[in-house]
Structure 1
């Protein structure tokens, strides 16, 4: 679920903020109170709004609400799922108004039903009517703008002291509390723009909220509802086209609200483990619209890291029969890896500006294109001639305004539509009060002293990191397992990597990485250093300088991990890694020249020296198996050894993503996923000058993307092709090599073959390759009674290669991932020109 890991949130607003704050709020009064049930228990997240408008709010978890209104007469509507709607007429003057509301449980009337052997519950006919009309409900609004207030809270009730020997630094209690105010613009079918005007994070005034309204635009009329960061597969809506295959329905009764009859329908899965919800829909008779719903997911429904998630929405009418969302709430409970907690994200939507679709509304009579339903100055909708131009919605899906995190407490007291609860006020007070103390050098030094303590877990397997929070730098040192390696060229070796990172305002500024390496069998000492300077985080401008004398794999992508090679060499007596010595100096640069086009030029000069095996030791198979030489085997090249030589290489790379979506922070840019593939173009030139011997030209093209297939899972593909335009003078390390894996311990990185020899089919001419991996995300195994309880998932893959030496190489694999949430196992079979070549099992990490 977290493969791509990922939840993205996005926001925006205009110049009316100054007017709203400076002019309107100066004269507005506040209507506030508490909403309770028949027993005076608070009703959390109850919705209230001014009748005929979209001006409203919701109650907090304690049932309290607050709504700013200009002087005038208003009808306030209070509603809560499962309770009767209540309307109150009030007059607002200059003084605040206290209005407490007690809602009564809904009174359900039973419909007259004719029962026979063939009859179905009338809920099915009501649901079918809604499904038949949902195309209109999805398309009747061309575009809208609205203001969104979001508040998120996450608390931790229990936590483990350590994970894999490493101390867990998070305390119990509220771990995240944040509020945001945004302007959200949507244009059908899927264009979204958001600008965050205000952001407040408890205990960290310099950070920004990740409460992003645009990522929670879920419509009950969509066929599939997918919550980023919660599910990979998505969940079938109770109103999907094929919903009757997944759900059963029961009409629990009818509610009368004014001129409306509302059907209360219970929805529940036909099969408990299907990706489905359970809960209630409230559907208007004759209009067949959903007025509100509450739907719940549990672990039975393939939730990965949560025990339970409940989604609630409340809608209200505007512009005659058009309805919009007024409030939305996500409430969840967590229980995984020893962590237990809960939280919520609550949002209110107001001040709508709606552009209606002329296919469903006659707009010619009034010559209007847009309806302003803000209700700030009057309770009735106002007509406007301003349309919402989708051309204004660019690829910047979220812009966080500079200074949005610097709003005063007075601002939030006025703008906050959902009052803070007692515990939230306390959290703000305590964390904001000690924020100044936390920024002091003495405090940071004291916390660093605790964090910088060395443990056995740091030494053995996790590595150690020294942190200086005040000066904003870290020093990282690998563990013993990461430092000790073994290969046949150097024998037992110590490869110590030390990394120094200097940051400023949570952004990396400089990074220095040093590697010191000594092989006991080879008696050779190596060292290299890389310096990376981050010039501009908004366009990803970076300069990299590196150099030294070090060992290098013939494939510059280093496909054989040192850990896997160490195990294979010592335990299975197979020395897959082939190394040569390189003394080099390199310079790299990257910069995004315009949105979606990244240039990556680089130049390097190196002297390359042949290395040989220096040890013959292994734990097993010493009498039955020989190590291979340190020169790679190749189908055409009899001897891949080489004489000492020098190489001057220039590389020009470009990464292109058309229609690239991104988030703008005041000091950085964040790229988000979008529907278009990514194109990589690389041209490499070996130049025979300045004493260099290598002379060749190589051009490479690569396309990669992810494709969501709804309930059927997600596919990832990578297609590559290229050719050598000139190969006047080359050595074997200059060939085009392919990322492969011959060990039973797999690397499941994208673009890897699993049964192909590392160098046997490398080429100096032309090639084409393709990789497709499909993650079923529970589509297959959730049907199997015993297997589905383990929450493992199926995965299938297909890999293809064509070169001058091999016409058609094909690999097919099928496996199981998410084993114990972490592991993956696959069975692969390979074919050359349709003839079976090899097969094998691969084990690795897959989650």
Structure 2
């Protein structure tokens, strides 16, 4: 029984891929990503514009991007902060570039702040929900280079003497030891094709535990555009208004787009629902980023996603999963981070980018003129 629950915990934190060792870098750029106050920003997304090259910062905000000599434009993204970009001309050496990122400043529009009726978050979410299936099916196929890094540690295992036999078996099979982190790191090529075909090819990886443990596919291959995300109702589900209330927190503009910040408030928090923040792009009604928490089998799970445009489609380039908790006296905590850079993305030609979403409750006249994607 104990072994079963330890394996269940590792669902969130094991790598997808086999074991290999990446080579040492020759040239590129490295540095530290931090706030204006000097606080490090862990797991920030770093990607080379127009390529499949990307990485993430570590727990101390440090990053290293291996690049061949040439000209590159590097994009830095972190949830809640302004996107940064820096051009580099790389020679046969490792350049150093430290970045201080600015927090996003929110504004409240006059129309929205002056509204005395329904919170404007509801019309934003109705539009996003109405278009969620469109976004889920919009991409026909893609190839992505995925970098994943995970760590997990058992912090408490009471009454160990009762499970001595099981513990010896687990240690033998997985190198598991109480208080010793299990680490996994990998680079892989992922190919996707609708409706749900995923294939992975290992490029390089290193692994401190047995490859037979369960993996985290259930989370990072799941889209919040689906009605349910691993046994919890998505805020973009058609049933969302039954489970959630929404609050408009403001908006910000970046690179010519307006992004709405929406607070997700469960009507009753617990297993099966999320709470937190979701950012929705005005007009597109797609996800810009999110930071949502839920509870699953005694563990508190924090999920963060950052999206970026790929051929005019907003795709998740950085995903983080942080978990802490316990079950039957077994306690642990860990992190899983996935960074993806996309290429060969094919959009379904049946999905037109200029599709219109109308809120039937606020725009009754416009709704009568249209017969598609009317939010009710």
TM normalised by structure 1 equals 0.37
**1:594 matched residue in structure 2:** none
Deviation at 1:102, TM superposition (A): 0.9
Deviations 1:90-122 (A, max 9, x none): 2222221111111122211112226565x1111
Deviation at 1:213, TM superposition (A): 6.5
Deviation at 1:136, TM superposition (A): 2.0
Deviation at 1:263, TM superposition (A): 1.1
Question: For the residues of structure 2 that align with 1:257 and 1:69, how far apart are their CA atoms?
Answer: 27
Deviations 1:577-626 (A, max 9, x none): xxxxxxxxxxxxxxxxxxxxxxxxxxxxxxxxxxxxxxxxxxxxxxxxxx
**2:76 matched residue in structure 1:** 78
Instruction: State which of 322, 327, 345 in structure 1 corresponds to 2:318.
Output: 327
**1:94 matched residue in structure 2:** 92
Question: For the residues of structure 1 that align with 2:214 and 2:145, how far apart are their CA atoms?
Answer: 14
CA 1:291–1:264 in 2, change beyond 3 Å: closer, same or farther? Answer: same
Instruction: State which of 301, 304, 316 in structure 1 corresponds to 2:297.
Output: 304
Instruction: Please tell me whether the aligned partners of residues 150 and 213 of structure 1 are also in contact (alpha carbons under 8 angstroms).
Output: no
**1:154 matched residue in structure 2:** 152
Q: 1:200 aligned to 2:206?
A: yes
Deviation at 1:247, TM superposition (A): 1.0
> Which secondary structure does the structure 1 equivalent of 2:131 belong to?
helix
Q: 1:357 aligned to 2:348?
A: yes
CA 1:201–1:11 in 2, change beyond 3 Å: closer, same or farther? Answer: closer
Deviations 1:738-795 (A, max 9, x none): xxxxxxxxxxxxxxxxxxxxxxxxxxxxxxxxxxxxxxxxxxxxxxxxxxxxxxxxxx
Question: For the residues of structure 1 that align with 2:79 and 2:297, how far apart are their CA atoms?
Answer: 27
Q: 1:128 aligned to 2:114?
A: no
| Number of residue pairs aligned between Structure 1 and Structure 2 | 335
- Give unmatched runs, 5+ long, in structure 1: 227-233, 363-847
Deviation at 1:296, TM superposition (A): 0.8
**1:314 matched residue in structure 2:** 306
Question: For the residues of structure 1 that align with 2:152 and 2:146, how far apart are their CA atoms?
Answer: 20
Deviations 1:441-485 (A, max 9, x none): xxxxxxxxxxxxxxxxxxxxxxxxxxxxxxxxxxxxxxxxxxxxx
CA 1:94–1:82 in 2, change beyond 3 Å: closer, same or farther? Answer: same
> Which secondary structure does the structure 2 equivalent of 1:138 belong to?
helix
> Which secondary structure does the structure 2 equivalent of 1:309 belong to?
strand
Instruction: Please tell me whether the aligned partners of residues 235 and 277 of structure 1 are also in contact (alpha carbons under 8 angstroms).
Output: yes
Question: For the residues of structure 1 that align with 2:256 and 2:115, how far apart are their CA atoms?
Answer: 31
Deviations 1:170-206 (A, max 9, x none): 643224112222222211111222233434222x6xx
Question: For the residues of structure 2 that align with 1:52 and 1:67, how far apart are their CA atoms?
Answer: 15
**2:189 matched residue in structure 1:** 183
Question: For the residues of structure 2 that align with 1:297 and 1:137, how far apart are their CA atoms?
Answer: 23
**2:290 matched residue in structure 1:** 293
- Give unmatched runs, 5+ long, in structure 2: 169-175, 354-376
Question: For the residues of structure 1 that align with 2:26 and 2:345, how far apart are their CA atoms?
Answer: 25
CA 1:333–1:145 in 2, change beyond 3 Å: closer, same or farther? Answer: same
Question: For the residues of structure 2 that align with 1:193 and 1:116, how far apart are their CA atoms?
Answer: 49
Question: For the residues of structure 2 that align with 1:88 and 1:192, how far apart are their CA atoms?
Answer: 33
> Which secondary structure does the structure 2 equivalent of 1:127 belong to?
helix
Deviations 1:236-279 (A, max 9, x none): 00111111111111121111212111111111101223621111
Question: For the residues of structure 1 that align with 2:282 and 2:124, how far apart are their CA atoms?
Answer: 8
Instruction: Please tell me whether the aligned partners of residues 250 and 267 of structure 1 are also in contact (alpha carbons under 8 angstroms).
Output: yes
Question: For the residues of structure 1 that align with 2:95 and 2:189, how far apart are their CA atoms?
Answer: 28
Instruction: State which of 277, 281, 285 in structure 1 corresponds to 2:278.
Output: 281
Q: Computing the radius of gyration over CA atoms, which structure comes out larger, 1 or 2?
A: 1
Instruction: State which of 237, 240, 258 in structure 2 corresponds to 1:240.
Output: 237
Structure of greater relative contact order (alpha carbons < 8 Å, 6+ residues apart): 2
Instruction: Please tell me whether the aligned partners of residues 15 and 185 of structure 2 are also in contact (alpha carbons under 8 angstroms).
Output: no
Deviation at 1:154, TM superposition (A): 0.6
After superposition, residues 699-710 of structure 1 pair within 5 angstroms as none
Deviation at 1:71, TM superposition (A): 2.7
Question: For the residues of structure 2 that align with 1:12 and 1:272, how far apart are their CA atoms?
Answer: 35
After superposition, residues 166-565 of structure 1 pair within 5 angstroms as 166=164, 171-202=177-208, 207-208=210-211, 210=213, 212=215, 214-215=217-218, 216-226=220-230, 234-273=231-270, 275-298=272-295, 303-306=296-299, 308-319=300-311, 321-360=312-351
